[in-house]
A and B are shown apart, each in its own frame.
Chain A
Amino acid sequence: MPDNEYDAIVVGSGISGGWAAKELTEKGLKVLMLERGRDIVHVKDYVNANKDSWEYEHRGGRTQQMIHDYPALKRDYPLNEKNLDYWASDKDSPYTEIKRFDWFRGYHVGGRSLMWGRQSYRLSQLDFEANAKEGIAIDWPIRYNEIAPWYDYVEKFAGISGSIEGMPQLPDGQFLPAMEMNVVEKDVAQRMNAHYKKEFRRMIIGRTANLTQPHEGRTNCQFRNRCWLGCPFGAYFSTQSSTLPAAQKTGNLTLRPWSIVTKILYDKDKKKATGVEVLDAENNQTYIYNAKIIFLNASTLNSAWVLMNSATDVWPDGLGSSSGELGHNIMDHHLGVGASGIVEGFEDKYIYGRRPNGIYIPRYRNYFGDKRDYLRGFGYQGGASRSGWSRNIPELSLGADFKDALTEPGEWRMGIGGFGETLPYHENKITLDKTKKDKWGLNVLAFDVEYKENEKKMRVDMANDAVEMLTIAGVKDVKANIGDGTLGRGIHEMGSARMGKDPKTSVLNNFNQVWDAPNVFVTDGAFMTSAGCQNPSLGYMAFTARAADHAVKELKKMNL
């Protein structure tokens, strides 16, 4: 084959792109994986992974220069000194906010699989049915039983630790041994679960893509809790630790960093994509690569951006826009609401090790007979820990006694924060802003996204329920935390090219194929027809593996 010809092209190297590359190469396809940013080599390039706090000039904090350089990233925790290089430059890649949207991106090999929170939950049948039952947006084109085996499949490889619970709203999976709750979490969970026994409201240990035993040649978690710097043990799932080495082992993968895909090339006679155009981010040259199939995994909003820039001679608003839904129905999880308080009676207990995981309370609202004045619901994440040196010590303010007091752990506190589902609103959209260019002269995205009345009502429950549950569990001095929870901060962007049953109302079919170009598969968060309230990445893995399987079967049948 000429060196610009491949069987498949994968655009993007994050969680879903890595899975696409692994699956397609393992099925024998010659695959080119394109990544817009730099390479980050497993272990070798995790330059801060073994640094201690005192080795950072600003102890991990943020400087005014960083605040100046990162007008979007500064809005939440990602702007920090420790892994600054893992976040995309807001200056090189600006965007337009018709309404505020906090967009935190990772433009490098591995994408946000390096920095992700690793919480891994399945969607349930209730999630897949919700739109249809409630008459919201459009129905998902698949049901839980169709995706369940693919959840099994990806969990077995990725390594997800968790507990078997038998909760209908949060299906169990192929888990590695669960991590442990600490003594206070166990106590809170026991009281809470006893109180709510009848309604599937339960506090469980978080399900996380951190290994609790050696798995697939990777070392188990060492409880450093420095995951987002890159793990030298390969103990959490990332492209680098997991899917990339698997793909490379086949000998079928070519990885090309610094490759911004500017468009998918479309043959209007054959009604198929023929390849992609790449702008080399280093030398600004344009290259063409051809392939039989294309997996678009550029991250939810950038995958839509690529489609919007493709086949514009046929459809002015881009490939996949014939439905009028491309770039619409943008979702995130709204958060920033919860509660916390003091737990007494465990002063003789402490913790050893830094568990990179917390507790989870799966959604219970609007399930099992519960009916609220809003649709859908929310889950909580949180945990208990003893406070540290930044706490206030009554009656002491300086000197040896003050220092001695601060060198001991303080009171136990338990806190939980909600992750709420947002509905897919057609009017929540991104568009191309043709008046503003990025560093490479490319049009940027403009955001017109907000949460609405349904989410606002839900947030009231999120706060009240958090206070109620902690109080019932015996937590003292419980106070609600109510933040403004602007969208984007969930870092769970979804829905810019939804799946559906009808090309008139959806961008993708039931196998993530673009209706207007069936050899183009979009399997990142763009495909989500509704958001659920669960952390979504595990679902992207499952849908990607399923789509790759379908793609190769269709190729063999000469259908693509």
Chain B
Amino acid sequence: MDRRELLKMIALATGAVVVGGEVFLTGCKTGAKTEAGFTAANISLLDEIGETILPATSSPGAKAAQIGQFMKIYVTDCYTQASQDEFTKGIVALEEACKKMHGKTFMDCTPEQRRELLLSLEKEAKEFNKGPEEKDKTLREELKGQNKVYDFVASPKHYYTMMKQLTLLGFFTSKPGATQALRHVAVPGKYDGALPYKKGDKAWAE
């Protein structure tokens, strides 16, 4: 991503965006790196959550992109401690919510039950995120124009928001996501700024 790509991303990042530019740009305080402590069972669970969000259709789904493993790496290496904690707590919270709604674990649920749970979490997350979003917006405004060296720390979002963001990021940048769900050409060789498009044609991966 060079400067022009960044400008483009910021241009696109107006409105409610699923994976915001701040994922790439936020400067964060950092503590000692801790292993987020993902178990094999956690990774299987995250695979199924990812697959519920982006299922296999005519193209592979999130599970085929090893989305659980990707989330483990990304959360462990890239998330702030606070977001990491929210995420790992979220794995437990999601199971609790699932038990409450369906009386069984997410893994034991049918695809329809899984959808139902995640749709309710989506609503919960939307409500929950108003808090951190407002807080971050205020802080950003305060910091603007101060010309100081500061560390802007994005407040952790609802755990389901993080799971969904990582599902999208991890899937569409994966090989199956980029080359089968989307279209990918490594060396285009030319530029056509008015390519005919019809509904159903896939987007370019890059």
A residues neighboring B (CB under 8 Å): 50, 52-54, 57-65, 67-68, 74-77, 80, 82, 97, 99-100, 115, 117, 179-183, 185-186, 222-225, 227-228, 338, 340, 347-358, 381-383, 385-392, 397-400, 402-404, 406-410, 413-415, 417, 450, 479, 481-484, 486-487, 491
Contacts and interface: CB of A to CB of B under 8 A. Distances in A.
A382 B7 contact: yes
Contacts of A390: 12, 17-20, 168-169
A320 to B, nearest CB: 28
B190 A407 contact: no
B3 A403 contact: no
A223 B118 contact: no
Given A77-B25, A117-B4, A398-B118, A353 B190 contact: yes
Interface of B: 1-8, 10-12, 14-20, 23-25, 27-28, 30, 33, 52-55, 57, 59, 61, 73-74, 77-80, 115, 118-119, 122, 143-149, 164, 168-170, 172-175, 178, 181-182, 184, 186-206
A392 B118 contact: no
A53 B7 contact: no
Given A54-B178, A353-B189, A398-B122, A65 B77 contact: yes
A397 B7 contact: no
B170 A358 contact: no
Contact of B187 (A60, A183, A222, A403): A222
Contacts of B182: 389, 407
B159 to A, nearest CB: 15
A385 B2 CA distance: 16
A81 to B, nearest CB: 10
B74 A58 contact: yes
Interface residues of chain A: helix, strand, loop or mixed (majority): loop
Given A59-B170, A390-B17, A185 B193 contact: yes
A397 B203 contact: no
B191 A52 contact: no
Interface residues of chain B: helix, strand, loop or mixed (majority): loop
Nearest to B59: A407
Contacts of B175: 52, 54
A352 B188 contact: yes
11 contacts: A222-B188, A223-B188, A340-B14, A348-B197, A356-B4, A382-B11, A383-B8, A391-B18, A410-B203, A481-B11, A484-B147
Contacts of B184: 52
